[in-house]
Amino acid sequence: MFSLLSSLAGNKRLLIDFVKRDLKARYVGSSMGFFWSVIFPIVNLFVFMFVFRLLLNARWGDDAGPKETALIMLAGILVWAGFAETLSRSTNCLIENANLIQKVVFPSEILPVYLTTSSVVNMLIGLPIVVLGCWLFGITGPGMSIVMVPVLLVLQMLFTIGLGYFLTTLNLFLRDTYHLVGVGVQVWMFATPIFYPAEMVRNARIMLPDWLSFLSNMPLRVDKLTGEEVPLIAGEGGDLGLGWMLDINPMHWLIDAWREVLIFGRWPDVSSLTLLAVVSIAIFAIGATFFRSQQAKFPDLL
Amino acid sequence: MTKEASKNTELMAIHARDLGKVYRIQDKPIHRLLDALKIGGPRGREFWALKGVYLDIPKGSTVGIIGENGAGKSTLLKLISGVSKPTTGDVQVQGRVTSLIELGAGFHPEFSGRENIGLACSILGMSPEEIDELTPHIIEFSELGDFIDRPVKTYSSGMYVRLGFAVATCVNPDVLLVDEALSVGDEHFRGKCLNRLNDFRDSGGTTVFVSHDIGSVKTMCQHVILIDSGEVIEQGAPERVADEYLKRVKARGNERQMSMLHRGSAEYPRWGSGEMEVEEVLLLGGEGQPGLAFETGEHFIVRLRYRAHKDCNQPVFGLGLYRSDGTYVNGSNHQWRHEPIDLGEVKAGETGEVDMAMGALPLLEGQYYLTTFLYDHSKAAPTAIDHREHVVTFQVLDPSHHQHGILRLPTAWAVRRNIPGEEEVRGHESGS
């Protein structure tokens, strides 16, 4: 993993070239250019607002007005889009660049890194809109905690690159990975509180069918929100809470932290941020190690 | 001069020791993953693409690697260029390697030629200053003119290759790997490329030239390595190795014939009334040996074996000769000649042989096939008794490579020079 990091540092120039090329490629030939970075999430926002707010009548707590809800959703979409897009592109990056890897001595470790960097830059073009919106609509907006932005960026990139390394290597062995990632990202998106508040998930209860009732005899855990001891998965009689879905979802912690910083001007929750840091570094270490261990074989595997 | 100097330093441009590459062929993709994670023993079959290769290629030399398709040439190039890692042994290369295998690899279609030059050079590990310095040379050599600032996707395939070649050779490599890339591009640019390769050699660069075209290897290289089934069979002077290669190709061709005969003619159409049948078609070379690969100028016989199932009147055997692309080269039979052979009546049960001989096979290098005609000429318009399309495919090799095209023609050349001051007319006439 450390040889990989030093090789990345050595190929800094190439990495920058690739990021530039990618950012340019997004908009070369289009007259609107970089505005697309902004237009796309805004259109997305209107679609989801239409569905969730108007049709399903979802509300962001009692005190959030429609404008605030829109901004909260927008922040979530921007962060999620940066992550999801990179994930599917990273998974395919070795196959897409097969001609480079098979014909030139090429540092393939820069591929997931440049894809992630490019999409993070893209995200950073969109996020100021959220801030502008806060000021425009008289919502709190960022405060001192804005200093956390670099930390969030680094953690997000570590997490994304780590997953990218892992999935793209796996994809060389099992080409189904790419399709699985496509489906997985979709499911993951709706499991993450982007268009609905996290409380809705915490409050949701479903009844388990009889054949799954063994799940109710699980040990207890401490609920993060209330601090009470609750059943690990399901309560007495098969009453299943969904809060655990949030407690195992690093993307929820990340998006939540971004919202705290950018919209509410609060400091992100320390415990979930620490957890995010641990998970991100672990994922990066695992992904990078797996990638590195197979890298010599890439030209033969393609 | 440069060549001698660099030889004296006794530095090898490429030095390989016991080089081997094994590919493992697994039945299921999941087995590859489990093997990679070292869970359970290795699964699947081993395939040695290259085995026990030793190379010492001195700086400044031009070395040819020849071998048939699948012999391991490309694998060897990949190992030399460092793209692929050897399973056994190691290879050391002095200096920067670029290869003409990768013409245009990594060009981005949306970007202009100029931007792609920058990116390609940066992949080859050059600094921005070096790139700025080289870009004008690359643009000039590629002859792209105004196109250099247009997206690469608007380029013709020829322009694409020109840009690729320009990048690969302008970056001042120490070792250049050429993999039959020169077959593309127009005549003018190909000439320019060859000049560039010659300049490169004269300036002390090392070239490794991979081909299955012995002609070009012979003319370009001082040292030739013959690879077959992943092993170095022979290496040394071009003439000697080329002969060995020809021998092998011929032997291989003959092996193929055995399997062809058993295949029957189901693949290609065959029609006729069926009173008689052409049962077998044999191609005989200079020593009377049956084969499927021949050399230009060799004594060549096509022998048809026939059998009559019913009585038949005035059957005539004929042969059509085609090049692999379908070009009709020649057609003849034993009736339409100065001295026709008239078979008259043929009784049921008769068998025999018909020979069509050529003193010196005039075909030039390439692949050809034969169609046999057996027609009833007793009627005004001959009708088919047994017409067999595409009966046999054979290969012609031309070690001399003196002429190009389909046929060797007895051309005569003469040069008459008028040199001011010298009144005499010098010349030389010859028939080829």
Q: What is the ipTM of this complex?
A: 0.71
Query: CB-based contact (8 Å) between B84 and chain A?
Result: yes
A49-to-A72, A79, A83, A126, A252 alpha-carbon distances in Å: 11, 17, 21, 18, 19
pLDDT of residue A178: 92
Owner of token pair 């087995």? B31
- Parts of chain B with a pLDDT under 70: 1-10, 100-106, 180-186, 212-213, 253-267, 423-432
- Can you tell me whether residue B247 is helix, strand or coil? helix
pLDDT of residue B9: 41
Q: A277 pLDDT band (50/70/90 cuts)?
A: very high
Chain A residues touching residue B44 (CB < 8 angstroms): none
Q: Min CA distance, B123 vs chain A (Å)? A: 7
Nearest CA to A193 out of A47, A96, A58 is that of A58
Q: Give the pLDDT of residue B406.
A: 87
Helix A12-27 to helix A110-137 angle (10° resolution) is: 60
pTM as predicted: 0.72
Would an 8 Å CB–CB cutoff place B427 in contact with chain A?
no
Question: Residue B15 is encoded by which pair of tokens?
Answer: 């030095």
Condensed to tens digits (0 to 9), the pLDDT of residues A169-203 reads: 999 988 889 999 999 999 999 889 888 888 877 77
At residue B261, the pLDDT reads 46
How much is the pLDDT for B3?
A: 42
CA quadruple A15, A17, A20, A25: dihedral positive or negative?
A: negative
Test B118 with A17 for CB contact under 8 angstroms.
yes
What average pLDDT does this structure show over A89-96? 91
Interaxial angle between packed helices B113-123 and A12-27, expressed in degrees from 0 to 180 and rounded to the nearest 10? 150
Average pLDDT of span A206-228: 65
A135 interfacial to chain B (CB closer than 8 Å) = no
Quote the CA–CA distance of A69 and A195 in Å, as a whole number: 9
Residue bearing the bigger pLDDT, A59 or A224? A59
Contact between B369 and B390 (Cβ < 8 Å):
yes
Are A21 and B23 in contact (CB < 8 Å)?
A: no
Residue in chain B nearest A27 by alpha carbon:
B110
pLDDT cut 90: percent of chain A above it: 31
Number of H helices, E strands in chain B: 9, 22
Task: Scan for tokens 């059509």, then name that residue.
Answer: B320
What SS3 class is residue A300?
A: helix
The two beta strands, B383-397 and B345-346, are unpaired
Contact A194, A74 (CB under 8 A): no
Interface test with B, best of A105, A110, A169, A174 (most B CBs within 10 A): A105
Residue B350 and residue B307 in contact, taking contact as beta carbons nearer than 8 Å: yes
Least Cα separation, residue B39 to chain A (angstroms): 14
Q: Which of A173, A174, A179 to mutate to test the interface with B (most CBs of B within 10 A)?
A: A173
Structural contact between residues A41 and A78, judged by C-beta atoms closer than 8 angstroms: yes
Distance of CA A245 to the CA centre of its chain: 15
Asked if B169 and B102 count as a contact pair (C-beta separation under 8 A), the reply is no
Amino acid at B23: Y
Of A203, A288, A208, residue with least CA distance to A242? A203
Residues of chain B with C-beta less than 8 angstroms from the C-beta of A29 = 110, 151
Residue of B nearest to A290 (CA): B37
Q: Report which of residues A57 and B275 the model is more confident about.
A: B275
Strands B88-93 and B12-25: antiparallel
Residue A238 has pLDDT above 60, yes or no: no
What pLDDT shows up at residue B432?
Answer: 47
- Enter the tokens of residue B35: 């093997």
Question: Helices B128-142 and B157-170: crossing angle, nearest 10°?
Answer: 130
Q: Which of A13, A99, A174 sits opposite B106 (nearest CB)?
A: A99
Residues 6+ apart with CB under 8 A from B381: none
pLDDT band of A224, cuts 50, 70, 90: low
B378-401 pLDDT, tens digit each: 887 888 899 888 888 888 888 877
If DSSP codes are grouped into helix, strand and coil, which group holds residue B103? coil
In this complex, is the C-beta atom of B22 within 8 Å of any C-beta atom belonging to chain A?
no
- Spatial neighbors of B89 by CB under 8 A, at least 6 apart, are B16, B17, B18, B19, B20, B52, B53
With CB atoms and an 8 Å threshold, state whether A13 touches B122: yes
- CB of B374 closer than 8 Å to CB of B387: yes
Say which DSSP state A57 is in.
-
- Give the per-residue pLDDT at B1: 38
Q: What is the pLDDT of residue B26?
A: 80
Residue A100 has its nearest CB partner, among B99, B106, B115, at B106
Greatest Cα pair distance, chain A, in angstroms, is: 62
For residue A113, the model assigns a pLDDT of 94
With left for phi above 0 and alpha for psi between -120 and 50, is residue B125 left, alpha or beta? left
E strand or H helix at B177? strand B175-179
Rounded CA separation B1/B17 (Å): 29
Rounded alpha-carbon distances, angstroms, from residue B162 to A110, A153, A244, B169, B176? 28, 43, 60, 11, 16
Tell me the shortest Cα–Cα distance from B215 to chain A, in angstroms: 26
- Residues 302-321, chain B: which have Cβ within 8 Å of A? none
Q: Is B130 exposed, middle or buried (0-12, 13-18, 19+ CB in 10 A)?
A: middle
Chain A stretch 61-120, residues whose beta carbon is closer than 8 A to a beta carbon of chain B: 97, 99-106
Q: What is the pLDDT of residue B7?
A: 43
CB contact under 8 A, B108 and A25: yes
pLDDT digits (tens, 9 = 90+) for A244-267: 788 889 999 999 999 999 988 889
CB–CB contact B78 A28 (8 Å): no
Cβ-Cβ contacts under 8 Å, A301 against chain B: 32
Six token digits for residue A100:
């480079």
For chain A, the average pLDDT equals: 83
A299–B84 CB contact, under 8 Å: yes
Structure confidence at residue A235 (pLDDT): 57
